[in-house]
Every structure is written in structure tokens, then in C-alpha cells.
Amino acid sequence: MFATSHLVEKSFEIWPGKLSFAAAGDGAREALDVAMDVARDLSRPVLADAELLATGQENVLPRGRAGRIALETAVRFREILPQNGIPPSLAAMPGAICDVVLEDMRNAARASGGAHSIVVSLGDVIAIHQEPDVAGGASGVVPPLLGEFVSALEGGIQGGVALAGNQSAIPTSGPLGIVAVQSISAAMAGFAAAAIADASADTVSVCEGSSPRDRLFAFAWQNRFIAGPTGLVDAELVWQALSVSVRQAAVLRDKRVLGAAALGFKGRGRTVGPVDGDRLLRFGVSEWR
């Protein structure tokens, strides 16, 4: 089981926080050595590309691999969602960083005996590789809410998982507390989670929240409404907000950029795709259907 595997872990400071990685298997230590090297190489272009993406300009050319992945992810979503439903491109950047590190870790592990599980996390997004017979998700590098969401998914996860909503670091225009998403990459998961959280923006009236602490997030979201914490909400509005965001998630799943999602708001929740809602105890939900 993933949760009881002998994980080797390391971390590295990079924008916008602590990049952590863990691996289990014969090639785990080699994979982590490569992860440290990749993180060092990424650190300078990541900051420059994040500043570039924060401007909101579409015709830009990021220097680094992560920046290009983030921009390509945003372009992909613009083909699916209406223009006013698109978060800033910067929402994909933390996940893109994780994707780049995971890819190089997997390559290093293959050359050194393999690794049956690899996790790379940055804030509220993770890139993850699990062999088909591996399940679970509790690891020191995974935030607790995301760890529980991963545990509620089917085993053998490939791609990324991300958290959005008022309990995450990514700003949102909607009132939902939790939006957890599994997708084909961490960049896709991060962007999808932000888009799903934003979809409920017009369902519940909330006060505007404070500007993000991170200067680049603050700049990228400067012309957008950022929802603050919500007070008491009528039960009918709770379900309306959840339903609107679930419809957004369903559209993304139909387009195959989302595998599964779990949404929580005021003690109620909804799931999309193969998620065991009964295992999502820390989401604080009392009903999932």
C-alpha cells in the first residue's frame, strides 16, 4: 500500500513555497537526487515565467519547461470554457512545476530499478505516479485534505491532484470551501480546480476577501473579485452553488481533462467520477449524493 511504503522524502524552496518530493522503490534515492537538481535548475526560470504569466498577456513565450506547460494548459481550457470562466494562467504554474519534476524523477527511477510510487507537491497541488497495484495516498509531502482525496480514488493514479476553494492558497471568485480535482497532469488539475471553484461565483453573495499574500498571485488576480469567508448560507443556496460547480466539472470530465472531483460547501458535498465519498471524512460533509 502506498501509505505504508518506505518513502524517501526531500524538499526545496521555490516559488510559491516548498516543493516536496517523495518516492518508494529501488530507484527512489536516485529519483530524489535528480529532483533536487531539477528544482535548482527550475528556480530561476520559474520566477521569471510566473511574473510573465501574471501579466495576463496571451502572446507570451515562457523560457522554462514549467512556464510553457502552464501556458499550454490555459490555452487548452480556453478551447473548452467560455472566456469569462477562465482563471488566470498562473493558476496552472504550481502544478506545471510538479509535472516537470515528476517526469524527470520517473526517468531517473527507470534507470535505477524503478519506483512504484512518486509524489511531488507544491502548495495545494501534487503530481503523482502510482503503479497499478498501489493505492492510498497518505504521505508527509501531501496536504491532509489532498491525501484524503487521493485515498478515496481508485489506485494506480497517474497525473495530478489539486485543491481549490476558500480553503486553498489559489484565489477564487466562488464561495465553495473545497474543490479537489484529479486530472491527467498536475497543471491540468490545478487549473481545473480553480475553474470549478470560480463557477459558483454568482450563486451566493459573499464579501470580498483580502488580496493574496503572494505578490504574483495578487498581481494576476488584481482585477478579479476574490471571495472571502462565507457566513450562514441557506441550504437551497448551498446546493445551488454545488450544482453549478458540479456541472462545470462534468463538462471538463466530458472533455477528458478531469478524471474525478469532490466538492464541499457548508457541510454538504458532491462527487464527480470514481470517488468513494464515504472516505472523505475530513471534508466535513454529511451527504455526498
Query: Per residue in 162-181, pLDDT tens?
Result: 999 988 889 999 999 999 99
Query: Per residue in 41-64, pLDDT tens?
Result: 999 899 999 999 999 887 899 999
Assess whether pLDDT exceeds 90 at residue 248: yes
Assess whether pLDDT exceeds 70 at residue 1: no
User: pLDDT band for position 14 (50/70/90)?
Assistant: very high
Three-class secondary structure assignment of the chain: CHHHCCCEEEEEEECCEEEEEEEECCCHHHHHHHHHHHHHHHHHHHHHHHHHHHCCCCCCCCCCHHHHHHHHHHHHHHCCCCHHHCCCHHHHHHHHHHHHHHHHHHHHHHCCCCCCEEEEEECCEEEEEECCCCCCCCCCCCCHHHHHHHHCECCCCEEEEEEECCCCCCCCCCCCCEEEEEECCHHHHHHHHHHHHHCCCCCCCCCECCCCCCHHHHHHCCCCCCECCCCCCCHHHHHHHHHHHHHHHHHHHHCCCCCEEEEEECCEEEEECCECHHHCHHHCCCCCC
Mean pLDDT of 262-282: 86
Assess whether pLDDT exceeds 70 at residue 284: no
Mean pLDDT of 2-20: 79
Q: What is the CATH number of domain 2-283?
A: 3.10.520
Mean pLDDT of 100-113: 93
Query: Per residue in 28-45, pLDDT tens?
Result: 999 999 999 999 999 989
Q: Which pTM was predicted?
A: 0.92
